[in-house]
Amino acid sequence: MPKKAKTVSERIREAVETADVTRYRIAQETGIEESALSRFISRERGLGMESLDALAEYFGLELVQRDNRKR
């Protein structure tokens, strides 16, 4: 069985958790409240699209469309 691809939020969490900077700095540089970022990382709450966009831009993440249609 093929491995399931990570979700966008999982990839963003991974980027935050493995970053060489603190969550405080990420929050400051993206304009996201540190408490909101912490709740997102701990899976207590989600983030809005603007915050997810800001994090994706901060980390240089992109979405790539794959052809997963069954033939």
The pLDDT tens digits of the residues spanning 34-57 come to 999 999 999 999 999 999 999 999
What pLDDT is recorded for position 2? Answer: 67
Structural domains present in the chain: 8-59 (1.10.260)
Give the residue carrying structure tokens 């249609």: 69
For residue 71, pLDDT over 70 is answered with no
Dihedral of alpha carbons 25, 26, 28, 34, sign: negative
- Residue 17 DSSP code: H
What pLDDT is recorded for position 53? Answer: 96
pLDDT above 90 coverage of the chain, percent: 77
**Full-model pTM:** 0.83
Select from 8, 14, 11 the least CA-distant residue to 49.
8
- Please compute the mean of the pLDDT values over residues 11-40 and round it to a whole number: 96
Token code pair at residue 24: 């405080």
